[in-house]
Amino acid sequence: MERALGISQPAIFNNDQGCQFTSHEFTQRLEAAGIRISWDGRGRFLDNIFIERLWRSVKYEEVYLHGYEHVGEAKGSLAQYFQLYNTERFHQSLDYKTPHEVYFGEGKNKTEQAPLIHLKEACFLS
């Protein structure tokens, strides 16, 4: 962990209250690095249900199906997946609309006019 904190570190570390994140050893390292700690309330797992569902879809519909040879290939393939996921795929939880349609209030035919969220903003390919 020290090596990772030496490269880059967050101002605030937020996570659930799992024992691996509340142990004295773990929290002491964060505090020693000047990182503030924020925990979700107990029983707040439902707050993360949508993001957990997204990552499950990404893993089973994209990542596990491809044997990426290098990072660039993974980034390109994931970019295509998220393009489809956000602008073409209808979601039951969104009343059978696309995330793009719900967020921007536009139909999928207008995707060229509205900016899409860049992969770097997804916090997993930095």
Q: Return the pLDDT at 121.
A: 46
Res. 21: pLDDT tops 80: no
pLDDT at 38: 81
Counting beta carbons within 10 angstroms of the beta carbon of residue 75, is it exposed (0 to 12), middle (13 to 18) or buried (19 or more)? middle
What is the reported pTM?
0.53
Q: Are residues 36 and 89 in the same domain?
A: no
Q: Are residues 113 and 69 in the same domain?
A: yes
pLDDT confidence of residue 96:
93
Same domain (yes/no): 32, 70: no
The pLDDT value recorded for residue 19 is 61
Same domain, 66 and 87: yes
CA distance 102 to 116: 13
Mean pLDDT in the chain? Answer: 77
* Whether residues 53 and 100 fall in one domain: yes
Residue 88: strand, helix, or coil: coil
Number of domains in the chain: 2
Domain that holds residue 63: 47-122
- pLDDT tens string 39-90: 766 656 666 677 788 889 999 999 999 989 999 999 999 999 999 999 999 9
